[in-house]
Chains A and B, each alone.
Chain A
Amino acid sequence: MQRLQNFISNFVFFLLVLLGFLLIFESYVEVPFWLQPIGRMHPMLLHFPIALIVVMVLLDAFKSHLDHTSYQKVHAAALYLTVFTTALSAIMGFLLSKEEGYTSELMSLHKWVGVSVTYLIYILLLIDPQKLSYRILLYGSFIILFFAGHFGAGLTHGMDFLMEPIAAMSEPEITQETPIFQAFIDPILEEKCKGCHNPQKHKGDLDMSTYDLLLEGGEHGPVLIKGNSMESELIHRALLPMAMEEHMPPEGKPQLTDFELELLTAWIDSGADPEINIAGLNPEDTLFSLATYQMNLYNEKDTGPKYDFDFAEEKLIASLNNPYRSVVQQTPGSPALDVSIFVKQAYKDQYLKELTDIKNQLVSLNLSYMPVTDDDLVTIGKFQNLEILNLNNTNITNEGLQHLTGCINLTLLSLSGTKIELGIEEWLANLESLESVYLWNTRITDQQLDELKKQLPDIDFYLGYAADQEPPIQLTSPLLKNKSTVLMPGEEVILEHKLSGVTIRYTTDGTDPDSISSDLYQGPFKVQGYTRVKAFAFKDQWLTSDTIEYKVFTPGLTPKEIELQHPPDKEYPGRGTASLTDLEKGKASNFKGKEWLGFHGTPFEAIFDFGTEPAELSQLVFCYLVNTGSQIMSPLSVEILGGNDKQQMQLLSRKKLPEDHKNSPNEATAVVLEFEPSKYRYYQVKGRPVGKLPSWHNAKGKPGWLFVDELFFY
């Protein structure tokens, strides 16, 4: 027996040290899930110390009636049991308190009272039971334990549990119908003002205890002017700087919070009606938002809807989630689930059928664009708590919708882009909660919609945008789909238009296409050399597009070596001579790109070496940039010379280019030089830049820039 007692005593000592440790490092403690059951045994175990301490008190009270040895034995057994179960309960209680939801003030009260009683009871072990101090401690502990128990019960049952039947009416719930003055304004005054302005103590001759007395005001006249907060002394004084003597509440007293001040101001501005309530206000009023906010705070309501169905199991939710189906709990505290299914190609019927497992929790379902058919709606009809259903662009028809009559909580139904037509009124009428239905791009017309609205005035129908409201607009020009305007060998020109059903006509000879004689675009086509593809698009009910020009190139002959006779400007060196024949075209919008070589003050002069066995050439395409704003101009002239000796070359062709004018568009363009077919080893190309910018230019007189990106030899 002695050994057992020693063991318990030591063990309890250990538990108390542990408890102390846990309390000190409380903020770092996180209880692992497998320890939680132990914590949850606290409400069971705690009955032992309570009962045992009662036994101890009774033992003590009737000590004189018992024979001494039995008393000692029973007392020892009861004492050790009490100490042991108390310590254990305390540890368990601590573990339980770390679970979510135990953070109130009541909780900390219960905790600290419980902890102190645990240590007190341990001290009983160390004191001689014959001494007076033992009795004091025992009775003290008994009383403290009573309070600890009471607070604990308050935690689980609510503090009012005990007296609830008696005090049921004391704290009324605040609703939209409660007058704002009674619900919020008076309590603010009570808390912050009435301490000095009451019938017993009315400073400044002001008594705020009732609405009428408040209107009466004080020695300086009225404090409240209906509808004018800025003139009301009540607000005015609160807004004065703290240092001023007139500031209210006086320095050192609890001040009005910004929110309280706003609420008071809004109430006074609204007319300071003592009876006005939230229900009687316009939702756009400031007072409405402030009071609603305050009401929700007061009622500690989650702003979201409350559901009475059970939570789905976490595991189940996890197993339903896959890359194509997302199942998400709306908030950690709500059992409602949102489900969306994505990617049409990956869709399977079972994705929908499997949702039957969560049919009670499913509140919002998004199936837009999925190949859902009428049969699938049978499954959806089982989701009786469904509120939002999105069936946009699915394959459903009127027939299928009848299966949805089971969705009695449906509020929003979106059917845009489906084959729905008139005839849905009847079953829509059965869905009593339904608020809005979206019918854009269905077979329902404007006139039919009016009919629907008449029959079902409680539902908002949305038909959205219809094209016939507006005159036809112009089509955009066809797009060139090829990645680059320099085509690879064998690559064909691909034109496209993002709008389906568009007709494209085009030319490749530089003339403007028309809708009669020009080629109809029926698919990719081949071009050779430098080609200006001009195209336009047209379609019924649309205005014909502008004609657009794409300059495309096929690769020409590549020289073995290139020799630049004047280096490009340091700022725009491109990739050196390689830029000239790398088949990469520069962008008109970015002359800083590595495709462009920029020349300033010097002409473009380069010798192209085609090796000892040159092929026949008859055409040069010289590509350059125009961006007059950045002083990048067309060359004045371009010429090509040929010869087998670098020193002796003859002019093959020369072209003068028209001068740029003020409105020349920014573009990457090209000039073609045709010459007698020849097979020279060397060709020299010269581009003469603008020496002085013309008089219309705001940098007139300065030399112009010449930008070259690519040369093609055909």
Chain B
Amino acid sequence: MDKQVLENRLNVNRRHFLGKLGLGLGGLALGSLLTPGVFRNGATEGSTLPLGFKHFASKAKRIIYLFQNGAPSQFESFDYKPTLSKRFGEDLPESIRGGQRLTGMTANQEKFPLVGSRFSFNQYGESGTWVSELFPNIAKITDDICVVKTIHTEAINHDPALTFMQTGAQVGNRPSMGAWMSYGLGSENQNLPAYCVLLSRGRGNGQGVYSKLWTNGFLDSVHQGVQFSSSHDPILYLNNPEGMDMASRRIMLDQLEALNQMGYQEFGDPEITAKIKQYEMAYRMQTAVPEITDLEKEPDHIVKLYGSDCLIPGTYAANCLLARKLSEAGVRFVQLYHQGWDQHGNLVGEMPLQAEDVDRASAALITDLKQRGLLDETLVIWGGEFGRTNYCQGKLTPENYGRDHHPRCFSIWMAGGGVKTGISYGETDEFGYNIIKDPVHVHDLHATIQHLMGLDHEKLTFKHLGRRFRLTDVHGSVVHDIIA
């Protein structure tokens, strides 16, 4: 036992020592020619390209992801299917369903009655993009966005689908998209986290979100998403306690760093350096964050643009405004989650409320970025984790219905960051059940997003457990047709 304690303290045992010595001697002649990782099995940073740079020139520098958590229905938003209204109540033909596996919620349903949107659709803008009446403000900016109607995923339940959308895998141990961006491109503004997460909750049936969605996975902890609080202080405990000024805080941090350095010398745990870095950043955040959360510099009509909800901390509108300010201040990836889009029933009652929460502020964000000349360098993505079924879940009445989860196709939109504007990409069949043209798998979406950010999705890798990982794993191809 004593021996183990001693070894632990020395951080080395005889085998380590001899192993290292042998290597050291044998390596004298050739050692410097060979990569250090050859004889070791330990994890080494396995990126094939230098980090902190784009791999190639591109417009986008930052991302704001407006995640509509719970999966908004494509049939009441962007994928107009008049056939479903004409064939109201008819059973979904088995030839269309094609053996699609169903969730436990509708698997035992005897019939799958088709149901069209209760809300009317119109074409907007020069592009003639179809948008439902629930999103009047997004309808006004259709010429600035690119609607992709043919995203498809592999999961049929919220947790795996969300995790898949965020990390490229359904199991929850991979780094999130924002963590990859932070890892690949670094932080633009070192006074703020490179990856920030803002949560809000709507009035519809909600699904939870949890910190594994903004995890750094096996990447260094500094790439982890930082969740902002929805209270008055977006970042808690940022103010110095009474009696502590910035100078004494500095002294305190310097001493703490010295102690942490000693700990690092002794144990060599990289998490300690990550911690030191985070303390330093927190110190700088004390000046940087108040400048960002302060609304006083914003003219009144910014509030009108986003809607007065943006004055209430923790609302979607407030988060959109904060996202713009964070992004403007160089935060690489701002992730919003708006919960409450899971309309299994009472879709007609809930969806207008959800849409009301997000419509104005989502459109405002695009307008606001554009009027500051930032839309070209900021990629905005709006969408959920999967689609919803073209048939009704539960009781179908002419007035109300619900929709179950549907992985085969759903709609998202993107704007800015070098995405083509004013187009709708991809087509689904007249039932809105299958894709008939230009499918975009989640992996393809990830590859495209990385491409827009100037990253080659096949080259941004990290070696872990003996193999190189990437956001798209071994899949994904860039959808060049939506890139300007």
Q: Is A15 an interface residue (CB 8 A)?
A: no
Bound complex: CA A412 to CA B376 (Å):
10
Chain B contacts with A in 44-97, Cβ cutoff 8 A: 49-50, 52-58, 61
Find out whether the CB atom of A440 lies under 8 angstroms from the CB atom of B371: yes
Given contacts A342-B189, A462-B371, contact A304 B328 (CB under 8 A): no
Q: Of the candidates A305, A416, A476, which one forms a contact with B371 in the assembled complex, judged by CB atoms under 8 Å apart?
A: A416
The answer to whether A331 touches B191, judged by C-beta atoms less than 8 angstroms apart, is: no
Scoring B residues 24 to 41 as 1 if CB is less than 8 Å from chain A, else 0, what string do you get? Answer: 000000101111001000
Is the C-beta of A118 less than 8 angstroms from some C-beta in chain B? no
CA distance in complex: A565, B30 (Å): 81
Closest to A326 in B: B188
Docked-complex contact B372 and A416, CB < 8 angstroms = yes
* Interface residue ranges of A464-511 to B (CB < 8 Å): 464-467, 470, 473-476, 479, 481, 497-501
B308 & A474 in contact (Cβ 8 Å cutoff): yes
A123 at the interface (CB under 8 A from B): no
Task: Name B53's closest neighbour in chain A (CB-CB).
Answer: A332
Judge whether B23 is part of the interface by a CB distance below 8 angstroms: no
Contacts of B368 in A (CB 8 A): 464-465
Note all chain A residues with C-beta closer than 8 A to B480.
289-290, 293
A284 contact set on B, CB distance < 8 A: 420, 423
A334, A369, A498: the one contacting B295 at CB < 8 Å is A498
Contact B56 A326 (CB under 8 A): no
Residues of B within 8 A of A324 (CB): 190-191
Stretch at the interface among A30-38, A189-197, A267-275, A443-451: A30-38
Which chain B positions have C-beta within 8 A of A340?
Answer: 188-189, 330
Q: Do A392 and B189 touch across chains, with their CB atoms under 8 A apart?
A: no
Residues from chain A with a CB closer than 8 A to the CB of B376 are 412
Asked if B303 lies at the interface with its beta carbon under 8 angstroms from chain A, I say yes
A29 to B37, CA, bound (A): 11
Contact B191 A323 (CB under 8 A): yes
Q: For residue B364, which residues in chain A have a CB less than 8 angstroms away from its CB?
A: 465
Tell me the chain A residues, 585-626 only, with Cβ under 8 Å from chain B.
none
A303 an interface residue at 8 Å Cβ cutoff? yes
B311 within 8 A of A: yes
Q: Is the CB of B330 within 8 A of A464?
A: no
- Asked if B235 is at the interface of the complex by the 8 Å CB criterion, the answer is no
User: Are the C-beta atoms of B372 and A30 separated by less than 8 Å?
Assistant: no
Whole-angstrom CA separation of A475 from B372 in the bound complex = 25
Residues of chain A within 8 A (CB-CB) of B186 are: 328
Q: Quick one: which of A31, A305, A541 contacts B33, CB cutoff 8 A? A: A31
What residues of chain A lie closer than 8 Å to B297, measured between beta carbons? 369, 393
Q: From residue 4 to 38 of chain B, which have CB atoms closer than 8 A to chain A?
A: 30, 32-35, 38
Q: Give the contacting residue for B300; candidates A329, A366, A499; CB below 8 A.
A: A499
Q: A60-68, A202-210, A343-351, A701-709: which one contacts chain B?
A: A343-351
B33 near A32 with CB under 8 A, answer yes
Partner of B373, one of A330, A344, A392: A392
A25 in contact (CB, < 8 A): yes
Residues of B within 8 A of A326 (CB): 188-190, 330
Among A29, A289, A392, A441, point to the contact of B34 (Cβ < 8 A).
A29
Q: How far is the CA of A445 from the CA of B389 in the complex (A)?
A: 49
B308 touching A473 by the CB < 8 A rule? Answer: yes
Question: In the complex, which residues of chain B have a beta carbon less than 8 angstroms from the beta carbon of A366?
Answer: 330
Kindly provide the distance from the CB of A361 to the nearest chain B CB, expressed in whole angstroms. 14
**Is A84 on the interface with B (CB-CB < 8 A)?**
no
Say whether, besides A342-B329, A479-B232, A440 and B291 are in contact (CB < 8 Å). Answer: no
Tell me which residues across on chain B come within 8 A of A302, comparing CB atoms.
Answer: 56-57
Interface size on B, as a range, is: 35 or more
Give the number of chain A interface residues (Cβ < 8 Å): 70
**Contact A35 to B33, CB < 8 A, known contacts A473-B308, A481-B232:** yes
Contact of A463 among B56, B313, B371 (CB under 8 A): B371
Determine if A390 is an interface residue (Cβ-Cβ < 8 Å).
yes
Q: Which of A404-427 contact B (CB under 8 A)?
A: 412-414, 416-417
**Chain B 230-243 per-residue mask, 1 if CB under 8 angstroms from chain A, else 0:** 00100000000000
Which chain B residues (285-335) contact chain A, with CB distance < 8 Å? 287-288, 291, 295-297, 299-301, 303-305, 307-309, 311-313, 328-330
Is A342 in contact with B57, judged by CB distance below 8 angstroms?
A: no
Tell me the chain A residues, 299-346 only, with Cβ under 8 Å from chain B.
302-305, 323-324, 326, 328-334, 338, 340, 342-346
- State in angstroms the CA–CA spacing of A31 and B35 once bound together: 9
Please determine whether B295 and A499 come into contact, CB atoms closer than 8 angstroms: yes
Q: How distant is the Cα of A489 from the Cα of B454 in the complex, in angstroms?
A: 56
| B53, B312, B454: the one within 8 Å of A476 (CB) | B312
> How far apart are A649's CB and chain B's nearest CB, in angstroms?
42
For A332, what are the chain B residues with a Cβ–Cβ distance below 8 Å? Answer: 49-50, 53, 55
Does any Cβ of A come within 8 Å of B367's Cβ? Answer: yes
Q: Any chain B CB within 8 A of the CB of A433? A: no
Q: Would you call B57 and A303 a contact (CB within 8 A)?
A: yes
- B367: chain A residues within 8 A (beta carbon): 464-465
Set of chain B residues within 8 Å of A32, measured between Cβ atoms: 32-33
Point out the residue from A323, A344, A412, A441 that lies within 8 Å of B284, measured CB to CB: A323
The verdict on A30 contacting B371 (CB below 8 Å), with A331-B54, A331-B55, A345-B287 known, is no
In the complex, A399 Cα to B57 Cα: how many Å? 34
Measured between alpha carbons, how far is A473 from B367 in the docked complex, in Å?
Answer: 18
* A331 with B301, Cβ < 8 A, contacts A28-B34, A342-B329, A414-B373 known: no
Q: How far is the CA of A613 from the CA of B465 in the complex (A)?
A: 68
The residue in B291, B371, B481 that gathers the most chain A C-beta atoms within 10 A of its C-beta is B371
A627 within 8 A of B: no
Tell me which residues across on chain A come within 8 A of B35, comparing CB atoms: 28-30
Determine how close the nearest CB of chain B comes to the CB of A201; give it in whole angstroms: 36
Rounded to whole Å, the gap between the CB of A22 and the closest CB of chain B is 7
Are A22 and B373 CB-contacts (below 8 A) given A305-B57, A331-B55, A342-B288? no
Q: Which residues of B contact A368 (CB under 8 A)?
A: 328, 372
Q: B370 contacts which chain A residues (CB < 8 A)? A: 462, 464
Is A476 touching B308 in the complex (CB atoms < 8 A)? yes
**Cross-chain contact A462 with B191 (CB below 8 angstroms):** no
Query: Quick check: A30 and B34 within 8 Å, CB to CB?
Result: yes
Indicate with 1 or 0, residue by residue over B362-386, a CB within 8 angstroms of chain A CB atoms: 0010011011111010000000000
Give CA–CA (A4, B176) in the complex, Å. Answer: 64
User: Once bound together, how far apart are the Cα atoms of A529 and B252, in whole Å?
Assistant: 41
Instruction: For residue B375, give the distance in angstroms from its CB to the closest CB of chain A.
Output: 10
Interface residue? A438 (CB, 8 A): yes
Taken together as a complex, chains A and B put the C-alpha atoms of A35 and B32 apart, in Å, by 9
- Judge if A182 is at the interface, Cβ distance under 8 Å: no
A116 at the interface (CB under 8 A from B): no
- Measured CB to CB, the nearest residue on chain A to B231 is A483
Residue A175 lies at the interface, judged by CB distance under 8 Å to chain B = no
Q: How far, in whole Å, are A304 and B484 apart by their CA atoms in the complex? A: 13
Q: Does A436 contact B (CB under 8 A)?
A: yes
For the complex, what is the distance from the CA of A289 to the CA of B291, rounded to whole Å? 43
CB closest residue in chain A, given B288: A343
CB proximity of A624 to chain B, nearest CB, Å: 24
Q: How far is the CA of A389 from the CA of B88 in the complex (A)?
A: 55
Beyond A343-B284, A474-B308, whether A28 also contacts B300 by CB under 8 A is no
A9 CB within 8 Å of chain B: no
* A29 engages B33 (CB within 8 Å): yes
Beyond A414-B373, A476-B311, whether A343 also contacts B57 by CB under 8 A is no
The reply to whether B309 and A438 form a contact with Cβ atoms under 8 Å apart is: no
Instruction: Give the chain B neighbours of A497 by CB distance below 8 A.
Output: 311
* Interface contact B481-A286, CB-CB below 8 Å: yes
Chain B minimum-CB-distance residue to A467: B301
Indicate if the CB atoms of A289 and B481 lie closer than 8 Å: yes
Check B284–A25 contact: CB distance below 8 A.
no
Verify A346–B330 contact, CB threshold 8 A: no
Query: What are 11 pairs between A and B in contact, CB < 8 Å?
Result: A28-B38, A284-B423, A289-B481, A304-B57, A324-B191, A333-B56, A369-B291, A438-B373, A462-B371, A465-B301, A541-B300
3 smallest A-B Cβ distances: which pairs?
A304-B57, A464-B371, A467-B301
Starting from the known contacts A284-B420, A331-B53, 9 additional A-B residue pairs (CB-CB under 8 Å) come to A28-B38, A283-B484, A330-B54, A331-B56, A332-B50, A413-B373, A414-B373, A462-B370, A498-B313
